């Protein structure tokens, strides 16, 4: 497997960057990103209530999953990592550098998710803590009047990450009063192209729907072509039946040509043992080239 090394990675750090992407993708160039950033994004709606395991009511559940399951990286906010990282040193981390709540509707006020910390802050913490921090992440809301600020922050984050041998993952979601359909395949492909223009290693996108508002993996092909050398990750979305989720994931990769997934609720809203099995099944399809049947065996094992 040949891995692309961005040209802004310094020559002396190419080995570190290459090691980060090889380990993170299990040598497949496909990323299984366990998303644990919803504590801010969705407040407690994703962690407490009907249909959500009681285990999920505390942040420790996320770390218990990430430390026991097979994952590429665990993406979450810096503060959670500082609170729990001392007890969970075996986790491969990706630090989310911005977040915002969903209290203000996107059609009421243009969204802006401002950067919280710098890449340099993370590099210093990585050296001091000796945690296995593989990269950083950032969300851009296209269509917002604050888009120029977020694009500028994203470009700088990607460049600084590469200059330090780290991976850069961008969440790119069209939002706001001018966005009529967040699941429009053509719009999603546009977001993928923005991720490529920003130099992202991976870009996390909405799932495209057809005219019947149903997922069609063929509709991802426009986005994966538009993304170029940036790997497309589909968001996991709300919790659904495990086998349906795994089937969609397999189709995203093998029909839509995506290079992974960013899954949170479909993992952490389950009790710990079930969550670990679900994460392992997702990892098997994403980074071990497993079939749907093999993944389901892991799920039921």
Residues classed as catalytic: 173, 204
Q: How far apart are CA 175 and CA 86, in angstroms?
A: 36
Structure tokens at 234: 């589909």
Q: How far apart are CA 60 and CA 53, in angstroms?
A: 13
Bridge partners (DSSP) listed for residue 202 = 169, 231
Bridge partners (DSSP) listed for residue 94 = 75, 135
In degrees, rounded to 5, the angle at the alpha carbon of residue 51 between the alpha carbons of residues 275 and 298 is: 25
Helix (H, G, I), strand (E, B) or coil at 165: coil
Could you tell me if 231 and 31 are in contact, meaning their C-beta atoms sit under 8 angstroms apart?
A: yes
Structure tokens at 207: 């799932």
Q: How far apart are CA 51 and CA 12, in angstroms?
A: 49
Residue located via tokens 């559940």: 61
Q: How far apart are CA 265 and CA 34, in angstroms?
A: 9
Total Cβ atoms within 10 A of residue 108: 9
């Amino acid at each position: 497997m040949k891995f692309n090394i961005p040209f802004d990675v310094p020559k002396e750090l190419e080995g570190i960057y290459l090691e980060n992407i090889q380990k993170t993708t299990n040598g497949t160039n496909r990323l299984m990103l366990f998303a644990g950033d919803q504590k801010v994004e969705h407040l407690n709606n994703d962690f407490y209530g009907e249909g959500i395991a009681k285990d999920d009511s505390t942040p420790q559940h996320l770390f218990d999953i990430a430390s026991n399951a097979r994952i590429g990286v665990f993406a979450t906010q810096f503060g959670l990592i500082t609170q729990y990282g001392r007890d969970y040193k075996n986790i491969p981390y990706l630090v989310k550098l911005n977040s915002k709540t969903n209290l203000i509707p996107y059609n009421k006020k243009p969204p802006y998710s401002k950067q919280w910390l710098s890449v340099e802050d993370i590099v210093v913490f990585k050296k001091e803590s000796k945690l296995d921090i593989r990269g950083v992440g950032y969300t851009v809301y296209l269509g917002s009047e604050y888009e120029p600020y977020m694009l500028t922050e994203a470009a700088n984050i990607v460049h600084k990450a590469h200059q330090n041998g780290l991976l850069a993952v961008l969440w790119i979601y069209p939002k706001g009063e001018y966005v009529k359909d967040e699941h429009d395949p053509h719009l999603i492909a546009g977001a993928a192209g923005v991720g490529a223009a920003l130099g992202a290693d991976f870009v996390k996108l909405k799932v495209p729907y057809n005219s019947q508002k149903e997922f069609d993996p063929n509709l991802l092909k426009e986005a994966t072509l538009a993304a170029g050398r940036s790997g497309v990750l589909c968001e996991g979305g709300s919790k659904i039946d495990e086998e349906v989720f795994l089937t969609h994931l397999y189709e995203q990769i093998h029909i839509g040509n995506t290079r992974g997934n960013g899954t949170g609720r479909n993992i952490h809203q389950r009790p710990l043992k079930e969550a670990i099995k679900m994460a392992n099944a997702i990892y098997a399809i994403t980074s071990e080239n497993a079939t749907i049947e093999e993944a389901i065996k892991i799920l039921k094992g």
